[in-house]
Chains A and B, each alone.
Chain A
Amino acid sequence: EAQVTQNPRYLITVTGKKLTVTCSQNMNHEYMSWYRQDPGLGLRQIYYSMNVEVTDKGDVPEGYKVSRKEKRNFPLILESPSPNQTSLYFCASSLYGPIEAFFGQGTRLTVV
């Protein structure tokens, strides 16, 4: 089954404690992206990757890092999480850029 898998689904952490949210896709897609979704602000793009070792900033990259060492994986790293990073995070992938994207099931992160 074609899918984008995120882990964990739910996470509560404390300010400043580094964390990683994993994202993996099994469709051999070149493009992957991370979004955060907040009430009243919609889905906002954090980072995206057009291919292995190629990443670029989206609209809200501050406080986040990503890496793309393999085609199937695109982890999101929060080196020093803060409460304003409390949000619902989605990973997405597609064959050709940010079009016809498949989304993961989401990771709800709470930073206290």
Chain B
Amino acid sequence: QKEVEQDPGPLSVPEGAIVSLNCTYSNSAFQYFMWYRQYSRKGPELLMYTYSSGNKEDGRFTAQVDKSSKYISLFIRDSQPSDSATYLCAMSDGNAGKSTFGDGTTLTVKP
């Protein structure tokens, strides 16, 4: 079993929809939770980073961490065609240099 499992998708939604992207994990030592967006033929770019549990909001994006359930989510409000990309969750315990990524969810937002 993988340490980080991500909903595989692909996900296709109409423009303006609310999107929910999710990851579960098994390592209770994870303290740092990241979401990256990766456009085709590009490197991942950091969207949001959360330490420990709770919510964090940045514009149309909200990251949510529930450590008791070992579950993290990224919500995208008012989704736009430019949000079409692969979204990767990543986690780290912060004590060493290692990070673990989910496999990614490919999102398509249709105009």
Contacts and interface: CB of A to CB of B under 8 A. Distances in A.
Contacts of B6: 42
B94 A97 contact: yes
Interface residues of A, number: 28
The A interface, classified by DSSP as helix, strand, loop or mixed, is strand
Interface residues of B, number: 24
B101 interface: yes
Contacts of A106: 41-43
Contact of A42 (B32, B41, B101): B101
A96 to B, nearest CB: 8
B79 to A, nearest CB: 23
Given A90-B44, A99-B34, A45 B98 contact: yes
A32 to B, nearest CB: 9
B18 to A, nearest CB: 25
Contacts of B103: 40-42
21 contacts: A4-B43, A33-B97, A40-B103, A42-B88, A42-B102, A43-B90, A43-B101, A44-B101, A50-B97, A58-B98, A90-B43, A90-B44, A97-B92, A97-B96, A98-B90, A98-B99, A99-B34, A99-B49, A99-B92, A100-B46, A100-B49
Interface of B: 6, 32, 34, 36, 41-46, 49, 88, 90, 92, 94, 96-104
Given A33-B99, A43-B101, A98-B92, 20 more contacts: A33-B97, A42-B88, A42-B104, A43-B44, A44-B101, A45-B100, A56-B97, A59-B98, A97-B94, A97-B97, A98-B90, A98-B98, A99-B34, A99-B49, A100-B34, A100-B46, A102-B46, A103-B45, A105-B43, A106-B43
